[in-house]
Amino acid sequence: MPPSSSTATSKGSVLAVDDEPLVLRLVASQATKLGYAIRTADSGAKALELLRQHPCDILLTDILMPGMNGLTLLREALHLQPDLQCIMASGQHEVTTAVEAMRQGAINYLPKPISIQELEMAFAKAMERLGLVRQLREKQLLLEKAARQLSEHRDHLEHLVAERTAELATTNRQLQKDIKARIRAEKEAEQRRQQLIEADKMASLGVLVAGVAHEINNPNNFITINTPILRQAWEDFVPILEAHLAEHGDFLVAGIPYSEMRHHVPELFAGIADGSERIKKIVLNLRDYARQGTAAMDQLFDLNQVVRAALTLLATPLKKATNHLVVEYGEALPPLRGNFQRAEQVVINLIQNAYQSLPDPEQRLTIATTTAKKGKEVVLRVRDSGCGISKRNLKHVQDPFFTTKRDTGGTGLGLSISAGIMEEHGGRLEFTSQPSKGTTVAAIFPAVIS
């Protein structure tokens, strides 16, 4: 069937890939009836060429094909078009491969032969998910715009601070004994620092969390509630199905022999439940990190919990930055007193600086918690094998607005803010580094001794 272009009245555009012409004609006919614009290709190479010329909404591909198989096509297609919604079509002996495809980015798989009802449901879900992805992209663009505006504001603020610093220097030389002027300047500096803390948090998360947390939670709650019910229903069906198997022999379930399917269904339920729980934890950690409230400094908290929360938020960039992440949690750490969210902000800043310094994913990043001085201090060490810091720059890394990454958007505020938060907790930051060999940062907190 010749490829057809997406029209203004279609529900969406589909690229179907299969080495069997009959299957392609059937899928194209069904997709057209459902109101979708359809293009077809009989090989992975032709499909990629079509994608380069005509991006589409949905990719429906067979798994087993000569030359480039469905898994390879999936990876290449997602590289070309990250928001592409990929659906795998599998034969009755391809369940394991289909599960692997889901892990690599496919959103669904359909057993052959594909009915028009299954195709309609799969396409509808894919378009719904694509809508959410595009909404998220729009909000990310808004966040980037807000970040640029914030950067301009910070540049202006830096200029104002420089001017004010010069004025204060002149005033201090003229009025060295004026205590009231000193108190007023300290109060102004504290107000500016508090504003920078909140601005730094908003630049990294605030707008995104407010826009998508509710949208993510609603469908995830539906998954969380219904998955155990479906799993219990399956477990109730198993004795009946086993009896039918013993009496009548093997039979098909969703196009797959029951003797094989019964081993995979529990894995699928477990994967759904684990994924839903991970989504829930990520949303909760995002809310906790972005929550604006009183900066109470009398909370008791565990540094290991702070590190776990930070790693949850940074899971995606860490996965891209390094293939050798090592996390070592100290046992029986004494509690800390202060503010959980502010301590989390310090940990996130230190980990971000570490993975951003790695030249490639083969470099190691180590995060460890431990005690020091016979349990009187609790220490977080973040060690990277990145580019390192020169001796000349090392003594300035905690200075406000000092950065070696201004060309890539660095503001020089992260470590300065982190140092201030550590002082609020009665702690400190210590740096050791060698150029081209890496950097180790230690965040040292006083322990609460019972």
Angle between helices 258-290 and 95-103 (to 10 degrees): 10
Residue 7 has what pLDDT? 45
Residue 4 has what pLDDT? 40
Q: How confident is the model at residue 1 (pLDDT cuts 50, 70, 90)?
A: very low
Q: Which of 176-180, 233-237, 395-399 has the lowest mean pLDDT?
A: 395-399
pLDDT digits (tens, 9 = 90+) for 124-146: 998 999 999 888 888 888 888 87
pLDDT digits (tens, 9 = 90+) for 14-27: 999 999 999 999 99
Higher pLDDT, 7 or 132: 132
Please give the structure tokens belonging to residue 380: 């977080």
Q: How confident is the model at residue 97 (pLDDT cuts 50, 70, 90)?
A: confident
Answer whether 14's CB lies under 8 Å from 41's CB.
Answer: no
Strand order in the sheet with 37-41: 37-41, 13-17, 58-62, 85-90, 108-111
Higher pLDDT, 333 or 416: 333
Task: Tell me how far apart the alpha carbons of residues 390 and 433 are, in angstroms, rounded to a whole number.
Answer: 7
Residue type, 28: A
Among 357, 335, 361, 374, which residue's Cα sits nearest to residue 441? 357
pLDDT digits (tens, 9 = 90+) for 324-360: 999 999 998 999 999 998 899 899 989 998 898 899 9
Answer whether 121's CB lies under 8 Å from 96's CB.
Answer: no
Higher pLDDT, 8 or 295: 295
pLDDT digits (tens, 9 = 90+) for 309-329: 999 888 889 999 999 999 999
Among 436, 417, 420, which residue's Cα sits nearest to residue 428? 420
Q: Quick one: DSSP state of residue 204? A: I
Q: Residue 59 — φ and ψ, nearest 5°?
A: -110, 120
Q: What's the burial of 291, exposed, middle or buried (CB within 10 Å: 0-12/13-18/19+)?
A: exposed
Q: How confident is the model at residue 404 (pLDDT cuts 50, 70, 90)?
A: low
Answer whether 64's CB lies under 8 Å from 86's CB.
Answer: no
Residue 396 has what pLDDT? 67
C-alpha triplet 105, 108, 114: angle, nearest 5°: 140
Measure Cα distances from 203 to 146, 149, 231, 307 in Å. 7, 10, 41, 21
Is pLDDT above 90 for 160?
A: no
Q: Is 415 left (phi over 0), alpha (psi -120 to 50) or beta?
A: alpha
Say how many C-beta atoms besides its own lie within 10 A of residue 178's C-beta: 12
Predicted TM-score (pTM) above 0.85: no
Spell 363-377 as b/e; 16+ CB within 10 A means b. bebbbbbbbeeeeeb
Residue 348 has what pLDDT? 92
Q: Which of 268-282, 372-386, 394-408 has the lowest mean pLDDT?
A: 394-408
Question: Which range has highest mean pLDDT (134-148, 154-168, 363-377)?
Answer: 363-377
Q: Does domain 299-446 have CATH number 3.30.565.10?
A: yes
Is pLDDT above 80 for 38?
A: yes
Task: Tell me how far apart the alpha carbons of residues 344 and 300 are, in angstroms, rounded to a whole number.
Answer: 13
Place of tokens 């013993």: 246
In the chain the first and final C-alpha atoms are separated, in Å, by 77
Is pLDDT above 50 for 409?
A: no
DSSP class per residue in 150-185 = HHHHHHHHHHHHHHHHHHHHHHHHH-TT-HHHHHHH
The separation between CA 160 and the C-alpha centre of its own chain, rounded to angstroms, equals 36
Fold (CATH) for 13-131:
Rossmann fold (3.40.50)
Task: Tell me how far apart the alpha carbons of residues 123 and 115 are, in angstroms, rounded to a whole number.
Answer: 12
Q: What's the burial of 179, exposed, middle or buried (CB within 10 Å: 0-12/13-18/19+)?
A: exposed
Residue 266 has what pLDDT? 87
Question: Which range has highest mean pLDDT (156-165, 166-175, 436-445)?
Answer: 436-445
Average of per-residue pLDDT across 238-251 = 88
Q: Which of 26-40, 47-61, 210-224, 333-347 has the lowest mean pLDDT?
A: 210-224
Higher pLDDT, 402 or 53: 53
Task: Tell me how far apart the alpha carbons of residues 442 and 378 are, in angstroms, rounded to a whole number.
Answer: 10
Residue 402 has what pLDDT? 54
The separation between CA 155 and the C-alpha centre of its own chain, rounded to angstroms, equals 29
**In the beta sheet, which residues pair with residue 61?**
17, 88
- Indicate the average pLDDT of the chain: 82
Is pLDDT above 50 for 214?
A: yes
Residue 100 has what pLDDT? 83
Average of per-residue pLDDT across 182-209 = 62
Task: Identify the three-state secondary structure at position 63.
Answer: coil
Residue 171 has what pLDDT? 77
* Residues 6+ positions from 92 with CB-CB distance below 8 Å: 111, 112, 252, 255, 256, 257
Residue 3 has what pLDDT? 44
Higher pLDDT, 70 or 191: 70
Is-cis flag, bond preceding 113, omega within 30? Answer: yes
**Domain definitions of the chain by residue range:** 13-131, 177-290, 299-446
Answer whether 312's CB lies under 8 Å from 277's CB.
Answer: no
Residue type, 181: A
Average of per-residue pLDDT across 3-31 = 81
**In the beta sheet, which residues pair with residue 408?**
none
Is pLDDT above 50 for 292?
A: no
